[in-house]
Amino acid sequence: MKRQYDDTFFYIAPSEPPPSRRPPIVEVGPIGWLRRNLFSSKINSLATIFTGVVILGFLYMVLSWSIRTAQWAVVYNNLRMLTSGTYDRRETWRLEVVAGALVFLTGLGLGIWARVARSVFIAVLVSLAVIIIVPIVSAYIPEPTIHILLRPSKTPPNFVFVGLAGQEVTVRLEPQTDPADVDAPLLGFVEQKSRVDWSTLARQVHDGKADLADYNMQFTLRVLDNRLRPLMTDEGPVQAVFDAENPGGTLTFTLPADDWYVLEVTRDDTSEPVGYAWLRIDNVEVFSSQEDLAQRRADRFGDPPEVDNALFAEEKAYRFEGARSFKQFLSLQLAPLFSRLAVPLLIGALLFVDGWVIGVLGKADKRVRRGALIGWALAFPFSIIVLRGFEGSRLLPLVDSGQWGGLLLTVLLTVVGITASFPIGVALALGRRSNLPVVKWTCTIFIETVRGVPLITVLFMAKLIVPFFWSALTDIDLTVRMMIGLTLFSAAYLAENVRGGLQIIPKGQIEAARALGLNPFLTTTLIVLPQALRAVIPAIVGQFISLFKDTSLVALVGLFELVGIVGLIVKGQPIYRPYQREAYIFVAIIYFVISYAMSDISRRLETSGAGSVRRL
C-alpha cells in the first residue's frame, strides 16, 4: 500500500502477511511422488496396498526366521574354508598379503583416476562401527541355558567348561515328574544325545508307555578346578546333594579365576534308579571347536583337564532349541561373525585409505601414476606367485592350485576369465567382420559352436575330453583347464556384444579416417573400437557378471569354489547338515553384493565421461 505525504510516497506493509505461494505439499516432494506414481488412481492404490502387504509379510517372515530361528554358526565357524577352501592353514598369511596389496592398489587407483562417492565412505564407516561395537555390546548379554538330560540307564557326564574370574554360574537340577513336562518348550542349548532321548521319551509318555511320576534318582554336584581339586569357598567346597528329601534345587557359585572348570556329577542311588532330570546350567559359554579358536583358548586357559566321561561345552555337542530374542541373536550369531571380521576389515580399510590419500595427493605426480600402473600390471603375477609358491622353498612352499577353493578360487576364475576373454572376444568380433574368408569363417564357426552348447559341456570337455584327444594336456592342472574353458566360453559371447557395438559406427567415419591417411589398424584402434566399446559397456559388464556367477558350475567337475565348498562343509560335518539353507543364503548374499558392485561400477563408468553419455 502506498500513501502520499507532502508529495512523497511511503510503502506501508499490510497488517496480514500475503498467502503462501509454495506449491501444495501433496503435489511436490515424497508425497507428490507417491501420489503420482503409486496412488494415481483407485486401481493403482489397491495394487500398491496389496503389493506392499505382500512385501512386508515376506520381509517379516525372512527377518523373523533369520533372527529367531536360523543358525549361522555354519558361516562364522567356517569362514576360513569359505574364503580359501582347503588352502594350507599354515600359509593363509599369503592370502592376507595378496588381499592387502590389492586393497591398497584399489585405493591408490581411485585416488588418482576416480573418486569415491561420499555415500560409499559413510556406508563403510557405519559398517565398520557396527562390526566393532556389536561384539563389545554382546559381551554383556547372558549366555542361554545349557540343557543336559540325566537318565537312569546312563552314567551322568562330567561337564567341562571355561570361565572368567568373577563369573557367576547357576546350576539347577529339575526332576521331570509331570507328564506335562515333556511338552514344555526348551530354550537354549540342548545336548544332542539328550535331545534325541527326550524326543523318544516324549513319544512314550504320549503313548502311555512311560510314567514320569516315579522318580528316585540321587546326585551329588561338585565344582572342580583345572587340577581336579574341589573349588573352595569360606563355607567349604562348592557342592550340592540332591536326594529323596531334596530331589531338585539350585547351586550358585562364583569363579575365582580365568581357567578350566569341571562340574562333576556323581550318582548316589541307593536302589534301582528310575526317572529323568534336566541339568540346566546358566551363564556358561558354549565355545567353538574350530582349530584356530581352540588354539587361542589353549594359549589363554591352558590345556583342558583330563576327565573321565567328560562332556565339553563345545557347540558341536549341542543344538539350539526355541526362538531366540534379538539380544541373543546379537550375542550368539552376529558377535562371533563380527569379532572375526573386525580386525581384517579394519586393516583393509586403513590400507585403502592410505592408498587413496596417496593417490589424491600425488595424482599430479607422474611417478605416482606410473607406480600405480606398474603395480596393477604386476598385481596378477605377484598374486599367483605368492599364492602358489615354489617347490622346495621354505618361505613360500608350494601350495598346489588343487587346494585353492572358496571365494579365493571364485575370484581367481572370474579375474582370469575377464582379463583373458576381453581381448580374445574383441579379436573374434573383428575377425568375424574381416574381409578375409578364412579368418571370418574360422571366427564365426568358433563363436557359433561355443554359443550353441551349455557351459557345463565346455567344462566337462576341458576336464575329460581334451586330455583324451591330446595326452599332453593330461598333466595340466584342473584349475587351469577350467580357467581356459571359462575364458573361451565367455569370449564367444563377448565377441557378439562387441560386434553389436561395431555395427553402430557410421561408415562415414571410417571413410573420413581413410581420407585423412589412417591405415586400417589405426582406424580401428583410434576411432572404431573406442566408440563401439563405450556403446556396449552395459552388455560387456553383464557378460562379466554372468561369468562371475557361472564359476559356480566348476563345483560339478571337482573344484571346491564358493558353492562347492559349502557342499563340502555341510556333507563333511554332520553338525551343519540341518543348516544348508543358511550356508547357501550367505553364499547368495556374497554373489549379490559382488554382482551389484560390478553393475554399479558399470553405471558410474557410463555417466562419468568414459561411457557413451557424458555428464554435463
Q: What is the pLDDT of residues 92-144, one digit of tens each?
A: 899 999 999 999 999 999 899 877 778 888 888 899 999 999 999 888 888 89
Q: 387 with 436, same domain?
A: no
Q: What is the chain's mean pLDDT, rounded?
A: 88
- 582 falls in which pLDDT band (50, 70, 90)? very high
Question: What is the domain range of residue 480?
Answer: 402-616
**Domain termination site, one of 323, 344, 360:** 323
Amino acid at 105: L
Total tally of structural domains belonging to the chain: 3
Decide if 31 is inside a domain. no
pLDDT greater than 50 at residue 353: yes
Give the mean model confidence (pLDDT) for residues 60-71: 92
Q: Are 218 and 274 in contact (CB under 8 A)?
A: no
Least confident range from 75-79, 181-185, 604-608: namely 604-608
Least confident range from 258-267, 329-338, 398-407, 598-607: namely 598-607
Total-model pTM: 0.84
**Domain termination site, one of 261, 290, 323:** 323
Q: 572 with 467, same domain?
A: yes
DSSP assignment of 191-243 equals EHHHHHHHHHHHHHHHTTS--TT-----EEEEEE-TTSPBPEETTEE-EEEE-
Q: 484 with 561, same domain?
A: yes
Q: Are 231 and 238 in contact (CB under 8 A)?
A: yes
Decide if 64 is inside a domain. no
Give the mean model confidence (pLDDT) for residues 13-36: 75
Backbone angles phi, psi at 257, to 5 degrees: -155, 165
Q: Could you give the CA distance from residue 227 to residue 261 in angstroms, rounded to a whole number?
A: 9
Residues 6+ apart with CB under 8 A from 524: 430
Q: Which of 390, 386, 368 is nearest to 378 (CA)?
A: 386
Q: Are 564 and 405 in contact (CB under 8 A)?
A: yes
Give the mean model confidence (pLDDT) for residues 398-407: 88
pLDDT greater than 70 at residue 8: no
How many of the other CB atoms lie within 10 Å of CB of 105?
A: 20
Decide if 70 is inside a domain. no
Q: Which of 549, 545, 513 is nearest to 528 (CA)?
A: 513
Q: 123 with 248, same domain?
A: no
- pLDDT at 159 (0 to 100): 96
- pLDDT at 1 (0 to 100): 52
Decide if 58 is inside a domain. no
Q: 438 with 586, same domain?
A: yes
Residues 6+ apart with CB under 8 A from 462: 481, 482, 484, 485
Q: Are 422 and 490 in contact (CB under 8 A)?
A: no
- 403 falls in which pLDDT band (50, 70, 90)? confident
Sign of torsion, CA 213 215 220 226?
negative
**Domain termination site, one of 373, 398, 423:** 398
Decide if 42 is inside a domain. no
Decide if 35 is inside a domain. no
Q: Could you give the CA distance from residue 257 to residue 71 in angstroms, rounded to a whole number?
A: 31
pLDDT greater than 90 at residue 612: no
Report the number of secondary-structure helices (H) and strands (E) in the chain.
Answer: 22, 15
How many of the other CB atoms lie within 10 Å of CB of 63?
A: 10
Q: Could you give the CA distance from residue 616 to residue 172 in angstroms, rounded to a whole number?
A: 72
pLDDT greater than 60 at residue 4: no
Q: 133 with 153, same domain?
A: no
Q: Are 215 and 177 in contact (CB under 8 A)?
A: yes
Q: 474 with 551, same domain?
A: yes
- pLDDT at 615 (0 to 100): 42
Q: Could you give the CA distance from residue 225 to residue 214 in angstroms, rounded to a whole number?
A: 35
* pLDDT tens profile 182-222: 888 889 999 999 999 999 999 999 888 888 888 889 999 99
Indicate which CATH number applies to the domain containing 594: 1.10.3720.10
Q: Could you give the CA distance from residue 317 to residue 21 in angstroms, rounded to a whole number?
A: 71
Q: 372 with 485, same domain?
A: no
For the chain, percent of residues with pLDDT exceeding 90: 51
Q: 290 with 152, same domain?
A: yes
3-state secondary structure 381-407: HHHHHHHHCECCCCCCECCCHHHECHH
Least confident range from 31-40, 315-324, 540-549: namely 31-40
Q: 484 with 593, same domain?
A: yes
Q: 191 with 307, same domain?
A: yes
Decide if 38 is inside a domain. no
Q: Which of 316, 325, 200 is nearest to 578 (CA)?
A: 316
- 508 falls in which pLDDT band (50, 70, 90)? confident
Decide if 9 is inside a domain. no
